[in-house]
Structure 1
Amino acid sequence: MCTCGDCAPSSAPTPSRRSATWATALSPAERWAVPLWAVFAIGNSALMWVVPGAETIPFHLVWISLALVYGVRPWPVPATLAVCLGVAVATGAPLWQHAHSKVIAFEETAEIPLMCLLFLVMVWHVRRRTAAVAEARLAASRERVAHEMTERFVRIATHELRTPITVARGYAEMLQLDSSDPGQASDVSVVVDELGKLSRITGRLAALAWAHQDARDGALVLDLGALVQRVARRWAPVVDGTIRVESAPTPVAGDEERMETALDCLVENAIRHGRAPIALRVRQDASAAVVEVEDHGPGIAPARARELLRGSDSPYSPRSGLGLMIAQGIVEAHSGRIALTRAPSGGLKATIHLPRLRPE
């Protein structure tokens, strides 16, 4: 007996297996809709023969139930046309007979083609909606796959680039220290600076890759007030201590490391593009915990900053706003939002709104 992969039994489902799988995929309502409707329609069609002169009620009940069952479980076009023709004959025969017997007027038989037309118009709308929903789901699936592939590429690329950049920068720094030629030392310093930029870019791309991951799973309680004070102490030497902090204990649910990264991005953006002093404020309003990072101009215009949030520039531009994108991704992963406005001081004010931590 052959045991190779080519001779192994195929795992593809047989027709009977496919039909069984399709049947089990149907909900109870879909499985029983057609048989129950058939019984109901046959009963009302028979009732039309029994009650001449009052057949309009069972007539309309048959067509209404047909529209309902089609909405629950649509059929292919040939089957739909066949069912429509069958219902038209079944309900039209007693109407025609009663009109021929002069129990009702012949004008009543006009309802037969009208109900057929109305049903077919409904079928057209249902099929259009079904096609639109399927197309939207397919587009969403493609977008999700593209996002996952992009995120995976960024993760792999940044991981693979970090090691050679670090090694190259180490050797360049050694050459810079050992060089006795001023011209060569100047050239090597340019290489060191450029490698430093590459290192910062890869770090930010890595941060951007995980920034949008949902932070609600496994979230812990953190104090925004204490976090802002810690961020201010770390950045104070960069701006000669000109960081003003107004904070109060403000508990929220989230990932402390990622929120610290978001604040670092906003403070760095204020330092690079604005003027000291930098103001950090934490407060609570009726529905949210609020963190404000404000510089004193000229900074970036709010409209321009909002463009950078959408990633309109190249990530290699010195004013690319990659830090703003990272901060926005982290805040949105915490079910929050960032607003960028013009500060009274003339600079840019970035305001983070996070859901308040509700007591148990």
Structure 2
Amino acid sequence: MEAKLKELVPDLASESFRLGFADDGALNSGDADAYRHMMLVSVRLDDGSWVNFSSTTLGATQHADWSVLTVTICFGVAIIVVAVLLLRWATRPLRDLAVAAERFSLDQIPKPLDETGPAEVRRAARAFNTMRERIQRLVSERMQALAAVSHDLRTPITRLRLRSELMDDEATRDLVDADLAEMEGMIDSTLEFLRGGVSSEAIRPIDIVSVIETIVDDHADQGHAVSLSGTSHGRVLGRLLALKRAFWNVIGNAVKYGTRAMVVVTETPDGLAITIEDDGPGILERDFERVFQPFVRLEESRGRDTGGSGLGLTIARAVVLAHGGEIALANRPEGGLRVTITLPRLAQPEQQLAQVIAGDPVLPHGPTVHTASHSAST
């Protein structure tokens, strides 16, 4: 600044012009370095007097200290890394808790969740373990009670069936036997529904086409118009009796509410698609989801021809979803109902078996349900 001023005003002699920073004593600022923001200027006039004034230097250009900036960035990155690691450590028990909740199943031995992590997470894990034990105990007690009730109900039914054989009137005997058979069917359906997925049946590879063919042949032997077409073999991984019960319910509905039933098995990129069609009346759009609810029957007469417990589709959907599949209902344009069930095909048996045992869906995506219509629930 001094050099620039002398360049502009050459008459300023060094002894008549003085410029410099204010010192700490003048500003009484201590260690604040405030003097660096003020310049003091003294100029001697021609009469020998001095003019003193000050000027701030806040507008002066200041160069960044790259070493300080680098250290600051390094500290910031280190803090972020440590924060991420701590966050992952704190949330890992929560992820384990979510996985355990998703894999929770009533038909497997419960494995206690590790109670680690922060205090709140440990408390949540302990509460989850307690809840799972209570649910397992509740279901076990309920199943024991259901087994006892089933035994107590079947005993008088068996006695009535034996007594009906002593009746001379054949027509009355047939009616009594039909009523007893209907009672046994309702008991079986209710127990199957209340079992809630608990099953001791082994998971193994199954040729689902052979299972469906057996069901179709049984209905054909009873005089029903049922046909099966499509691929001749299709292997899936699951429980044989559960899958047979599900397809028996769906095909039985098609036979019950239509004059004929058509079953078609086709291959898809992800597995198998089984389509069951009938020429029945179908249902209204507002009842699409309602038919899957337990104990719901759209036909309220409960006559011998169309009677039932209202659990057929409920059980079928539960079985299909448990095997990683989907069930979709739709009305046919020409009239009747189309039920489409998709199941993942058997691929990499060891990995797929481990997923089923662990309770994971077999398909890459989670199981979903699409509903469009149905003529009535079993």
TM-score, normalised to structure 2, is 0.52
Distance in 1, matches of 2:200 and 2:324, equals 8
Structure 1 residues 153 and 228, CA, compared in 2 at 3 Å: closer, same or farther? same
CA distance in 2, matches of 1:320, 1:178: 29
> Secondary structure, in 3 states, of the residue corresponding to 1:172?
helix
Structure 1 CA distance for aligned equivalents of residues 246 and 346 of structure 2: 19
| Corresponding residue number in structure 1 for 2:144 | 156
Check the 8 A contact 1:158/1:202 in 2, yes or no: no
CA 1:69/1:262 → structure 2, altered by over 3 Å: closer, same or farther?
Answer: same
Instruction: Judge conservation of contact 1:292–1:351 (CA < 8 Å) in 2.
Output: yes
Give the corresponding residue for 1:71: 84
Partner of 1:256: 240
User: Residue type matched to 1:173 in 2?
Assistant: R
Q: Give the drift of 1:341.
A: 0.9
| Unaligned runs of at least 5 residues, structure 1 | 1-50, 75-129
Q: Which residue of 2 aligns with 1:275?
A: 258
Amino acid aligned to 2:338 = K
Q: Quick one: distance in 2 between partners of 1:143 and 1:312?
A: 28
Aligned-partner residue type, residue 85 of structure 2: V
Given the alignment of the two structures, is residue 229 of structure 1 paired with residue 210 of structure 2, yes or no?
no
Partner of 2:192: 207
8 Å contact kept, 2:190–2:309: no
1:289 maps to 2:268: no
Task: Supply the AA of the counterpart residue of 1:328.
Answer: R
Give, in angstroms, the shift of residue 275 of structure 1.
1.4
Structure (1 or 2) with the greater helix fraction: 1
Q: CA deviation at 1:356?
A: 2.8
Q: Which amino acid aligns with 1:55?
A: V
Q: Partner residue of 1:347?
A: 336
Report how far residue 252 of structure 1 moved: 1.5
- The alignment partner of 2:231 has SS state of coil
Pair 291,146 (structure 1): closer, same or farther in 2 beyond 3 Å: farther
Question: How far did 1:244 drift?
Answer: 2.0
Secondary structure of the residue aligned to 2:262 is: strand
Distance 1:337 1:214 in 2: 20
Q: CA RMSD in A?
A: 4.5
Q: Distance in 1 between matches of 2:120 and 2:327?
A: 33
Aligned match for 1:59, one of 64, 72, 80: 72
Deviations 1:143-197 (A, max 9, x none): 856764564355323311221111111223345455799xxx89xx77x776654
Give 2:287's match in structure 1, choosing from 300, 304, 317: 304
Q: In structure 2, what is the equivalent of residue 243 of structure 1?
A: 226
Give TM-score scaled by structure 1 length.
0.54
Q: Deviations over 1:119-161 (max 9, x none)?
A: xxxxxxxxxxx99989997897688567645643553233112
CA contact (8 A) 2:270 2:345 kept: yes
Q: Work out the percentage of aligned pairs sharing the same amino acid.
A: 18
CA 135–310 in structure 1, closer or farther in 2 if over 3 Å, else same: farther
Q: 1:65 to 1:242 in 2, by over 3 A?
A: same
Give matches, 1:180-195, under 5 Å. Answer: none
Partner letter of residue 54 of structure 1?
A: S
Correspondence for 2:99: none
The alpha-carbon deviation at position 219 of structure 1 amounts to 2.0
Aligned-partner Cα distance in 2 for 1:352–1:161: 33
Contact 2:265 2:272 in 1 (8 A): yes
Residue identity matched to 1:296: D
User: Residue 48 of structure 1 aligns with which residue?
Assistant: none
For residues 67-123 of structure 1, what are the alpha-carbon distances to aligned partners after superposition, in whole Å with 9 as ceiling and x for unaligned? 43233236xxxxxxxxxxxxxxxxxxxxxxxxxxxxxxxxxxxxxxxxxxxxxxxxx
1:265 has 2:249 as partner: yes
1:30-74 alpha-carbon deviations (Å, 9 max, x no partner): xxxxxxxxxxxxxxxxxxxxx977323323433443343233236
Alpha-carbon separation, structure 2, partners of 1:344 and 1:146: 49
Unaligned 5+ runs, structure 2: 1-63, 88-117, 350-378
1:233 to partner: Cα distance: 1.1
Question: Relative CO higher for 1 or 2, CA cutoff 8 Å, sep ≥ 6?
Answer: 2
| Secondary structure in 1 matching 2:232 | coil
Which residue in the other structure is 1:220 paired with?
A: 205
Amino acid at match of 2:265: V
